Amino acid sequence: MNSYQERVFQSLRRVQGWFAANPQYAAGNPSLANQLGAFNGIVSRLSDHATAQETQLAQTLLISKDEIGKRREVLVHQMAPIAKVARALRATVPGIGVLTLPKGNVSTPELIAAATAMAQQAVVYKDVLVESGLPADVIEQLEAAAAALKASLDGRGLARASRAAATQGVGNEVVLGLRMVMILDAVITRVIHSDPVKLAEWEQLKRVTAKGGVVRGRAGLVDRSSKAGDTSSNPSQTSSTHVETSSTSVQTSPTDVVAAPTTGSKAA
């Protein structure tokens, strides 16, 4: 998850925890209970997708590291001995010169193709290769090493595809979660509007926290990441302040912004 999705996820978890701590509101309202059940499903799926994201990323990195060793096995320990023997026998064995190493730093798919081609071409010269000291199953070893490298490459591709699917799932569930909080907010604020303590608690926990240590609430906005400006001497700074909540975005008036005590044109 990116930082915004992580903050949304924490907001959804807080809402989920609040209803768990206050079961009386859903107990007497079957429709709210159904909505809450759907919401809990969203949070559960979001958690699963986030876990899959991290798991598949780790798997991709692990396979990538493993691929280095498998490339070396194919190129250095399997193909190189065959190519060396073939180069030494070019003058005495017609056609054996086709058993050569790929040129340059080839990609893994190209290396697999080259190893497969060498194994097929070496069948004709197997007896000569074995007589020169290479193992009797030299071709089978090369084929096995190439197959292992191909499996590693395919595994990395599958891990990347699974992570992409998990990433899409996270995005979908975040959107659904925010929409569901809007519905829950409409219902629960109507129920607890006469209880200012519970209402304040609910209003605070449902919010998506701001990046950079910004605390947003009904009383106003305090930005801990930067110094407060002189809002009394610069009206343009107080014309409107954007406030982000889990359900919608609203505009606060200049009087909603709590400014730090000022002296002159800068905050003390």
Question: In this structure, is residue 169 part of a structural domain?
Answer: yes
pLDDT-derived band at 62, boundaries 50, 70, 90: low
The residue type at 19: F
Question: In this structure, is residue 199 part of a structural domain?
Answer: no
CA distance 260 to 230: 8
Q: pLDDT tens digit string along 19-39?
A: 999 999 888 888 899 999 999
User: Is pLDDT of 58 > 50?
Assistant: yes
Give the pLDDT of residue 268.
Answer: 33
What are φ and ψ of residue 73, in 5° steps?
A: -60, -45
Of the residues 166, 192, 218, the one at which a domain ends: 192
Mean pLDDT of the chain: 80
Residues 103, 24 share a domain: yes
Neighbouring residues of 174: CB distance < 8 A, sequence distance ≥ 6: 5, 8, 9, 46
Residues 125, 217 share a domain: no
Residues 183, 243 share a domain: no
Residues 217, 159 share a domain: no
Half-sphere exposure of 96 (CA within 13 A, CB side): 18
Chain centroid to CA 93: 55
Q: pLDDT tens digit string along 150-186?
A: 988 888 888 888 889 999 999 999 999 999 999 999 9
CA distances from 133 to 94, 127, 130, 158 (A): 19, 10, 5, 40
Residues 217, 167 share a domain: no
Q: How far apart are the first and last CA of the chain?
A: 39
Q: What is the 3-state secondary structure (H, E, C) of 55-75?
A: HHHHHHHHHHHHHHHHHHHHH
pLDDT-derived band at 80, boundaries 50, 70, 90: very high
CA distance 47 to 140: 45
Question: In this structure, is residue 167 part of a structural domain?
Answer: yes
Residues 144, 11 share a domain: yes
Question: In this structure, is residue 200 part of a structural domain?
Answer: no
Residues 147, 43 share a domain: yes
CA distance 67 to 64: 5
Residues 21, 99 share a domain: yes
Give the pLDDT of residue 35.
Answer: 92
User: Is pLDDT of 83 > 80?
Assistant: yes
Question: In this structure, is residue 18 part of a structural domain?
Answer: yes
Residues 167, 222 share a domain: no
Of the residues 163, 192, 221, the one at which a domain ends: 192
Residues 182, 151 share a domain: yes
Residues 178, 107 share a domain: yes
Domain that holds residue 50: 3-192
Question: In this structure, is residue 201 part of a structural domain?
Answer: no
Residues 232, 182 share a domain: no
Of the residues 192, 220, 247, the one at which a domain ends: 192
**Of 204 and 233, the one with more pLDDT:** 204
Percent of the chain with pLDDT over 90: 56
Q: Could you count the other beta carbons within 10 Å of the beta carbon of residue 190?
A: 8
CA distance 56 to 227: 41
Give the pLDDT of residue 63.
Answer: 67
Percent of the chain with pLDDT over 70: 77
Question: In this structure, is residue 54 part of a structural domain?
Answer: yes
* Number of separate domains in the chain: 2
DSSP 8-state class, residue 258: -
Length of the chain, please? 268
Give the three-class secondary structure for 262: strand
Question: In this structure, is residue 205 part of a structural domain?
Answer: no
Q: pLDDT tens digit string along 88-131?
A: 999 899 999 999 999 878 899 999 999 999 999 999 999 999 99
User: Is pLDDT of 236 > 90?
Assistant: no
Q: For residue 211, give both structure tokens.
A: 């990046």
Q: For residue 161, give both structure tokens.
A: 């595809």
Q: For residue 225, give both structure tokens.
A: 């990441």
